[in-house]
Amino acid sequence: MESRENLDKTGGTRLDQLEMNPTGPKKQLKDLDDLFPYIGDFGWYQRLLFLLMIPYSFFFAFVYFSQIFMTVVPEQHWCQVPELANLTAELRRHLAIPQKEGQYEKCIVYDVDWNNVLTSGDLEPKVTWPTKKCDGWEFNFTDAPYETIATQLGWVCERDNYPATAQSIFFCGAIFGGLIFGWIADKYGRVPAILGTNMTGFVAGVATAFTNSFWSFCLCRFLVGLAYDNCFMVMYIVVVEYVGPKWRTFVANMSIAVYFTFAACILPWIALAAADWKIYTLITSIPLGLSILTPFIVPESARWLISQGRIDEALTIIQKCERINKRKIPDAVIKEFRDTAKEIAKAEEEFKNYSFLDLFKSPRLRRQSILLVVIWMSITMVFDGHVRNVGSLGLDMFLTFTIATATEFPADILLILTLDVVGRRWLAFGSMVLSGVFSFLATIVPFGIPSASLAIVGRFAVNISFNIGLQYAAELLPTVVRAQGLALIHITGYVANILVPYIVYLATIAIEIPLLILGTIGIFGGCLCLALPESMGKAMPQTIQDGEEYGKDQKFWDFPCIKR
């Protein structure tokens, strides 16, 4: 759960962080960041690590999104009548399926002796014929042109909630995965956590392809859920901490904007090319097995090694970075850093005396912590809701998914350009409210291209909110409980996501319902952002008392860009 503790090192400048100039007066080393002027902010070592994020970004996209295309159900389906197999599909449906308001029923079939009907030669249905529920189904695979587990096992009619339930069970697995692999990351290191989470996703993903029942599928998806999203996030944190402060925003956002977005955009086309859900599942699961190479290519977190008192191992990695970047750390600096590292390790031990419960013991900090939890739950629900609602927008879901996912790239670029100008508070508010407004607008325009276009704009806006969320939280929570606080916030997001598949499922009642709910949540969560203090350009709180006092001098209408 606490594998995200280093987000406090990547989300902003630490209070005790000092800028150093290797050619100027010597300053006391306070943190690992103070070595970057000597080893390089973004040299070849860091560039190689940045490239190493590519496979893990693909693993993340495959784990998160692949289930959508395993459980697609074509819009048109009707009861299967084996006795009519020699007739054309159109004639079978005309003869065997009752109509209601000009539409063929999907779950009811006429209950007659079909051999007698065929013998009589009269192939016109009689409305007086008795009906019964389907025993099996036929599907029109025009809009989803391949067999999925949902069509194979008949997850329609009274079982049409099965895909939503399976997706919710995936997020249940994510809760346990966050706890288990977070503990592993803290106890045994980041590299074992990266290896463990991806190998779990690999084994469970491959097993998914061989499931033949709802519950065996759910079990495998629960186990795959253990890998979400630690399969990428732990690697992300390790890489970002080896990058100098001025490059962190670039590396953090571009890894998502380019690698993750590209991997997600190609998923629907992999599904179409495979033309079979089992082959598709294997294609998106087997690559995770490459994570077996992690211990040989990914360095352990130097911060974690220092926190464990393994200072020589941390320095070995730092000196490797120094060599590859063709830089040189003076011996005096290394000696001084050894002493500093011992103090950091001692401070880490003191942090263990605090828990996330300390966030709720003082009134102002308690209010801010609750707001951060609710806002993050709102962001994750709106984001995931837009991801999964693409099949209800009235267009080709494969193309719509690709276009909607591609909005991640411009959203991240816009975020890089504006986050340190507009500030966290107003940008989070604006992006969430815009997402809600466009979700509402999508329900009142004609169904199809107009509504889908507005919904995609809503997805674009919530992409911005999503990428602000954890950084904002990291900057507001006190250092002594930041790791546990971020873990709490992150896992409550998993809990909220359990509800999202059922929100999307409500489209079976009325197509507008999911967007109306997502719009409401977006505007609600966005307005809550205005109750938080601005953190842009501010020193992060270190103690519980700092957190309690944080932002007291700010006014509601403060705009960082105007103050400049």
Digit-coded pLDDT (tens) for 60-82 = 999 999 999 999 999 899 999 99
Give the residue from 353, 377, 409 where a domain finishes: 353
- What per-residue string of b and e applies to 133-168 under the rule 16 or more CB within 10 Å gives b? ebeebbbebebbebebbbbebbbbeeebebbbbbbb
202 with 154: CB under 8 angstroms?
A: no
Euclidean distance between CA atoms 25 and 104, whole angstroms: 82
Pair 486, 517 in one domain:
yes
Domain co-membership, 271 together with 327: yes
Strands (E), 21-115: 77-79, 99-100, 103-104, 108-110
Number of domains within the chain: 3
The 10s digit of each residue's pLDDT in 110-119 is 999 998 988 8
Q: Are 395 and 456 in contact (CB under 8 A)?
A: no
- Helix, coil or strand: residue 509: coil
Confidence of residue 563 (pLDDT cuts 50, 70, 90): low
Q: Among 202-211, 215-224, 547-556, where is mean pLDDT lowest?
A: 547-556
422 and 311 in a common domain: no
How many Cβ atoms sit within 10 Å of the Cβ of residue 516? 17
Q: What is the mean pLDDT of residues 512-538?
A: 93
DSSP codes of every residue in 445-456: SPTTHHHHHHHH
Q: Yes or no: say if 93 and 77 are a contact pair by the CB < 8 Å rule.
A: no
Residue-wise pLDDT for 365-414, tens only, equals 999 999 999 999 999 999 999 999 998 888 999 999 999 999 999 998 99
Residue 122 Cα to chain centre, angstroms: 56
Looking at the structure, do residues 211 and 342 belong to the same domain, yes or no? yes
CATH number where 329 lies: 1.20.1250.20
The two three-digit tokens of residue 95, written as one number? 């003869």
Q: Identify the bridge partners of residue 109 per DSSP, sorted by sequence position.
A: 132
Q: Cβ(359)–Cβ(369) under 8 Å?
A: yes
> Final residue of a domain: which of 332, 353, 374?
353
In a domain, 20, yes or no: no
Q: 51-60, 316-325, 433-442, 475-484: lowest mean pLDDT where?
A: 475-484
Give pLDDT tens digits for 134-167.
989 999 999 889 999 999 999 999 999 999 999 9
Instruction: Give Cα separations from 66 to 60, 268, 469 (angstroms).
Output: 10, 8, 24
Give a three-class secondary structure readout of 382-431.
Answer: HHHHHHHHHHHCCCCHHHHHHHHHHCHHHHHHHHHHHHHHHCHHHHHHHH
Does 50 lie in the same domain as 122? no
Residues whose CB is less than 8 angstroms from the CB of residue 84 and which lie 6 or more positions away in sequence, other chains included: 91, 92, 95, 96, 114, 118
Name the pLDDT band for 230 (thresholds 50, 70, 90).
confident
Burial of 90 (0-12, 13-18, 19+ CB in 10 A): exposed
Q: Do residues 214 and 297 both lie within one domain?
A: yes
CB atoms inside a 10 Å sphere around CB 226: 25
Query: Residue 547 sits in which domain range?
Result: 354-556
Instruction: Tell me if 64 sits within 8 A of 177, measured CB to CB.
Output: no
Q: Are residues 328 and 397 in the same domain?
A: no
209 residue type, one letter: A
Measured distance CA(142)–CA(132) in Å, rounded: 27
Q: 482 and 418, same structural domain?
A: yes
